[in-house]
Structure 1
Amino acid sequence: MSVLIAFLSLAFEFVLGYPDWLFRAIGHPVTWFGRLISFLDRRLNRATDSDALRRQRGVQTLLVIVLVPAAIGLCVQILLWFIPLGFIFAALLATSLLSQKSLHEHVEAVADALETGGLAMGRVAVSRIVGRDPETLDRAGVCRAAIESLAENFSDGIVAPAFWIGVGGLAGGAAYKAANTADSMIGHRTPRHEAFGRAAARFDDLVNLPASRLTALLIVLAAFLVKGADPRNAWNAVRRDARKHRSPNAGWPEAAMAGALGLALAGPRSYGGVLVEDVFMGEGGRREADSADIRRALKLYRTADYLLIALFGVVSAIAILA
């Protein structure tokens, strides 16, 4: 039944997204998790404590962050069992853990901004979806940043939550989303979070392992179906470059996207004035990316997303018939 919930939630969210009026009325699960994480960070992460104590409290914080949403999700799903067609309501609730529609809209907005407002507007649009310093990006850099964000967020914003919903229903999806939010908030190598956020960062790496590999495979398969994409090059880029990325997971979808489009993604980039050295994913002769490449990447993303929904549909049908 969890796989069916995952399939229905993907289908519903693909069409509906997360309505703006609902966000204005009650917020979003990520904002709820964020408040809990911020509270625990303020209360337990003290600069005067030793690194050992901060690591210990980071583990305790992670347990609370993961187990509280999981327990709530489990209770809600159990209650829904007693309602006719309760699994449909569970799937509707699970749509809040996915971001298919919003991801497409945010990345498409970068291409639109570049084409209508030039580099300045493109930098503003891309700053909404990436953490790097937008003022350091030229036009090609803005395009690469948007495509990299699309590939990585397809993995951890769509494939991963769908995978964990399929494994554990609402509890699994909520636990994953809370852990992923914790990594984005406290899983950084900064003086404040190096020790305290270590557990969150390591746990996020672990729970994203299966989704990152599946995402790369979906992009490679999508390249067979999208005109102008190169599935062979995508596969070769994954095999050659994915493990070279400083992240154990981000390199897989980024390498697949880079190879399929004939681009070089990742590489050195600046965050908060600090240059982060990283290897390139893909080759592509280091050619300059443009807004047309963003739109090609979006076609690949949509096709890969169709394949993901179809995969969950087939697996749920097999599970029901078995």
Structure 2
Amino acid sequence: MERLLILILALIIDRIVGDPHCLWKRIPHPVAIIGHLIAFLEKKINKKRFSSRLKRVLGFFMLLFLLFGAFAFGMVIHLIILYASWFGLLIEACVACIFFAQKSLSDHVLNVKEAFSQDGLKKAQKAVSMIVGRNTEMLDESAICRATIESLAENSSDGVIAPVFWYILFGLPGLIGYKTLNTADSMIGYKNDRYREFGWASARLDDVANFIPARLTALITLIALKFWHHKTSFYRALHVILKDANNHRSPNAGWPECAYAGGLNIQLAGPRYYDCVHVNEPFQNFNGTIAKPNDITRALHLFYQSMNVLLSLLIFSLVIYSLISL
């Protein structure tokens, strides 16, 4: 019951406050610290002269070290907070909300929409480069809109649903451990010469860690579509998920992305550039309309509706658990 209450408080705080710039410009964000540690260790032990097998082994043990440290740190923080009794619940909620990304994600997405409105294509390309890992200088208006909505959909899983899932299972250690793994994947989980072998363990384990959360994200999005949109949006999203989700290069990202593509009736994915290399990926919801800047606003509405569903489910679970415990 305490974890559910902490999660509810943390999600509310994150939605209102997000990542306050005035705080994180004075002290480093915990995820940034994790990122610096990963970069430091990778530079020290990922040597070009090493064999592919040795790189995999070193990458695996580096990840193991990071996860052990994250779990241990999370456990220490949790045990310290326990001594604060009920006030400790609020403290842990404040700590947990640091690792959620509702407001920060929506703010970055909104920046892209505002860039279109105020400064045009070049500013929008720069804004979208903050949330995607692909080359944005060659993107036209539709491609920028697709990339933005795809990032919103995928990160609704990676940045909110998955952290909630792992917190429910393992508390603060599970939450910090997941964010460590996800950060490692975002930094070294690439299939290029430098990271293909060294980042193999991070990429594979991240796929496993996000397997259930990605599908839960699609389900929560479907529930939001059922309650706040026309019924055709729900059935179209379900159809696109079943038809296109497994065609994605990622075993997980296709699920929330297809839910958004079908729910908003727009095309997502499709051909794109990574490191100036053209990658010919299939469209999701090929029969949908071409994505436009206004669709970014529609996607944000769907995102917050999905977050409302998540919060409602947690509150409902807390009430049921409390009644059973009487």
TM range (shorter): over 0.9
Secondary structure in structure 2 of the residue aligned to 1:18:
coil
1:4–1:166: 8 Å Cα contact kept in structure 2?
no
CA shift, 1:283, in A, is: 2.7
In structure 1, the residue matched to 2:50 is: 49
Residues of 2 paired with 1:314 and 1:227: CA distance?
22
Greater Cα offset, 62-71 or 296-305: 62-71
1:18–1:95: 8 Å Cα contact kept in structure 2?
no
Match of 2:113 among 111, 114, 127: 111
Q: What does residue range 269-308 of structure 1 map to in structure 2 within 5 Å?
A: 269-285=272-288, 287-308=289-310
Greater Cα offset, 135-144 or 245-254: 135-144
In structure 2, the residue matched to 1:40 is: 41
Residues of 2 paired with 1:276 and 1:217: CA distance?
29
Secondary structure in structure 2 of the residue aligned to 1:25:
coil
Q: What does residue range 255-274 of structure 1 map to in structure 2 within 5 Å?
A: 255-274=258-277
User: Over residues 263-320 of structure 1, what are the superposed CA-to-partner deviations in whole Å (9 max), with x where a residue is unaligned?
Assistant: 11111210110112222211334x3211111101111001001111111222233334
1:133–1:273: 8 Å Cα contact kept in structure 2?
yes
Residues of 1 paired with 2:205 and 2:44: CA distance?
21
Aligned-partner residue type, residue 26 of structure 1: I
In structure 1, the residue matched to 2:62 is: 61
CA shift, 1:227, in A, is: 4.2
Secondary structure in structure 2 of the residue aligned to 1:230:
helix
1:262–1:283: 8 Å Cα contact kept in structure 2?
no
Aligned-partner residue type, residue 56 of structure 1: V
Residues of 2 paired with 1:226 and 1:305: CA distance?
13
User: Over residues 202-258 of structure 1, what are the superposed CA-to-partner deviations in whole Å (9 max), with x where a residue is unaligned?
Assistant: 010000111100110111111123346711101111111111111001000000000
In structure 2, the residue matched to 1:223 is: 225
Instruction: Kindly indicate whether residue 241 of structure 2 is the aligned counterpart of residue 238 of structure 1.
Output: yes
CA shift, 1:172, in A, is: 0.7
Greater Cα offset, 287-296 or 202-211: 287-296
Secondary structure in structure 1 of the residue aligned to 2:85:
coil
Residues of 2 paired with 1:31 and 1:281: CA distance?
33
Greater Cα offset, 273-282 or 45-54: 273-282
Residues of 2 paired with 1:7 and 1:270: CA distance?
39
Secondary structure in structure 2 of the residue aligned to 1:284:
coil
In structure 2, the residue matched to 1:84 is: 85
Residues of 2 paired with 1:284 and 1:114: CA distance?
25
Which 5+ residue runs of structure 1 have no aligned equivalent? none
Residues of 2 paired with 1:90 and 1:82: CA distance?
12
Q: What does residue range 122-271 of structure 1 map to in structure 2 within 5 Å?
A: 122-227=124-229, 230-271=233-274
User: Over residues 168-206 of structure 1, what are the superposed CA-to-partner deviations in whole Å (9 max), with x where a residue is unaligned?
Assistant: 111010000000000001111111111110000001000
Secondary structure in structure 1 of the residue aligned to 2:196:
coil
In structure 1, the residue matched to 2:22 is: 21
1:110–1:122: 8 Å Cα contact kept in structure 2?
yes
Aligned length: 321
1:45–1:196: 8 Å Cα contact kept in structure 2?
yes
Residues of 2 paired with 1:234 and 1:259: CA distance?
4
Residues of 1 paired with 2:32 and 2:322: CA distance?
35
Residues of 2 paired with 1:111 and 1:307: CA distance?
24
In structure 2, the residue matched to 1:9 is: 10
Identity of aligned residues (%): 41
Aligned-partner residue type, residue 284 of structure 1: N
Residues of 1 paired with 2:82 and 2:319: CA distance?
19
CA shift, 1:89, in A, is: 0.6
With the length of structure 2 as denominator, give the TM-score of the two structures.
0.95
Residues of 2 paired with 1:108 and 1:300: CA distance?
13
In structure 2, the residue matched to 1:319 is: 321
Aligned-partner residue type, residue 212 of structure 1: A
Residues of 1 paired with 2:39 and 2:128: CA distance?
25
CA RMSD of aligned residues (A): 1.3
In structure 2, the residue matched to 1:102 is: 104
1:165–1:172: 8 Å Cα contact kept in structure 2?
yes
Residues of 2 paired with 1:27 and 1:316: CA distance?
34
Secondary structure in structure 2 of the residue aligned to 1:248:
coil
User: Over residues 36-89 of structure 1, what are the superposed CA-to-partner deviations in whole Å (9 max), with x where a residue is unaligned?
Assistant: 111210121111111111101111011111110111111110111111221211
Which 5+ residue runs of structure 2 have no aligned equivalent? none
Secondary structure in structure 2 of the residue aligned to 1:136:
coil
Provide closer, same or farther for how the CA distance between residues 64 and 317 of structure 1 changes in structure 2, counting only shifts above 3 A: farther
1:259–1:283: 8 Å Cα contact kept in structure 2?
no
With the length of structure 1 as denominator, give the TM-score of the two structures.
0.96
Aligned-partner residue type, residue 257 of structure 1: Y
User: Over residues 131-175 of structure 1, what are the superposed CA-to-partner deviations in whole Å (9 max), with x where a residue is unaligned?
Assistant: 221121111111111111110111101111111111111101000
Residues of 2 paired with 1:237 and 1:306: CA distance?
23
1:69–1:178: 8 Å Cα contact kept in structure 2?
yes
